[in-house]
A = this chain, B = another copy of it.
Amino acid sequence: MTTQTELFREISEQPAALARFLDAESANVARIAAQINRAGVKYVTIAARGTSDNAATYAKYVFASFNRLPVALATPSLYTVYQTPPRLDGSLVIGISQSGESPDIVAVLEEARKQGAPTLAITNFADSPLARAVDNVILQHAGEEKTIAATKTYTTQLCALALLSTALADDRARRAELDAVPDAIARTLSLSDAAEDVASRWAIATTMLVIGRGYNYATAFEIALKLKELAYVTAEPFSSADFLHGPIAVIQGGYPVLIIAPRGRVFDDLLDVARQLKSRGADLVVISDALDALALSRAPLALPVALPEWLSPLVAVVPGQLLAHHLTRTKGYDPDHPRGLTKVTKTL
Chain A interface (Cβ < 8 Å from any Cβ of B): 42-43, 45, 49-51, 53, 60-61, 63-66, 68-78, 81-82, 84-91, 104, 206-207, 209, 213-214, 225, 228-230, 232-234, 236, 241-242, 244-252, 265-266, 269, 280, 338-341, 345, 347-348
* Complex CA distance for A249 and B245, rounded to whole angstroms: 28
> What are 22 A-B residue pairs whose CB atoms fall within 8 Å in the complex?
A42-B90, A49-B241, A49-B245, A51-B246, A53-B242, A61-B78, A63-B86, A64-B75, A64-B84, A65-B82, A68-B85, A70-B87, A73-B73, A81-B214, A82-B265, A230-B249, A232-B252, A236-B236, A245-B347, A246-B338, A248-B340, A249-B341
A348 contact set on B, CB distance < 8 A: 269
Give the distance to chain B from A50, nearest Cβ to Cβ, in Å: 4
A60 contact set on B, CB distance < 8 A: 75, 78
* Complex CA distance for A233 and B249, rounded to whole angstroms: 9
* Complex CA distance for A69 and B68, rounded to whole angstroms: 21
A340 and B249 contacting across the interface, CB-CB below 8 Å: yes
User: Which residue of B is nearest A88, CB measured?
Assistant: B70
B249 and A228 contacting across the interface, CB-CB below 8 Å: yes
A88 contact set on B, CB distance < 8 A: 70
Give the distance to chain B from A343, nearest Cβ to Cβ, in Å: 10
Give the distance to chain B from A107, nearest Cβ to Cβ, in Å: 12
B72 and A72 contacting across the interface, CB-CB below 8 Å: yes
B265 and A246 contacting across the interface, CB-CB below 8 Å: no
A104 contact set on B, CB distance < 8 A: 241
A43 and B72 contacting across the interface, CB-CB below 8 Å: yes
Which of A69, A206, A241 is most buried by chain B, counting CB atoms within 10 A of its CB?
A: A241
A89 contact set on B, CB distance < 8 A: 42
A60-B78, A249-B341 known, 19 other contacts, Cβ within 8 Å: A42-B90, A43-B86, A51-B246, A64-B78, A64-B86, A69-B87, A70-B74, A70-B86, A76-B241, A81-B214, A207-B234, A209-B234, A228-B249, A228-B250, A232-B249, A236-B236, A245-B345, A246-B338, A251-B340
B86 and A69 contacting across the interface, CB-CB below 8 Å: yes
A43 and B245 contacting across the interface, CB-CB below 8 Å: no
Known: A234-B207, A341-B249. A347 touches B241 (CB 8 A): yes
B248 and A214 contacting across the interface, CB-CB below 8 Å: no
